Structure 1
């Protein structure tokens, strides 16, 4: 019977390694992957170590755990970078809105001064 990856001769550890490799490939293909380069490199090395640990299954599992943790770190770094980018864009929009509001307030104050001046002139004989 075939397992989740579709290969009947694949062990669960091999299937897990294939899933981890696929996940790593997706992360490395992201446009912003350079911002998690260290964590992705660590995950890549751990997966290579896991695949070469045929004689010691425990070492292979440990390497897979390290790869998984490194990918979680990479995902968090990329999420943080995305959140920071969104925050900076929001701050720029807020600053622009405040500047427009200040300009509108100054224009309104000038109009009100002109109106008050005209009203005073209308009271004079």
Structure 2
């Protein structure tokens, strides 16, 4: 996986990927999760978005959004394109966030999820 900062012109693609990745959770939650409505252009401008590209034609396959503060790195969003799911990309995105925390000298990575996001609840404990 090659991870790089998202470029301003990719804001629409980032939003589309995040919306597609989170769409299956809408019925279980009863609303769109916050990442679906985030201002990805602003997040990209702030340097908070990394992307994994490598799909057909260089298409984005994964997105990770982070924010440093309060002595920890907040792992705000991890999203994998539906066509790229099941290949370990989500695990690699979380590992990239952990590496970012280490590089910034932050001892902790925090994240939030919703109980209805069962795949996340199964993955995150396995990652430690």
TMscore range, shorter length? under 0.3
- Which is bigger in relative contact order (C-alpha 8 A, separation at least 6)? 2
Give me the TM-score of the superposition, normalised by structure 1.
0.26
Structure number, greater radius of gyration: 1
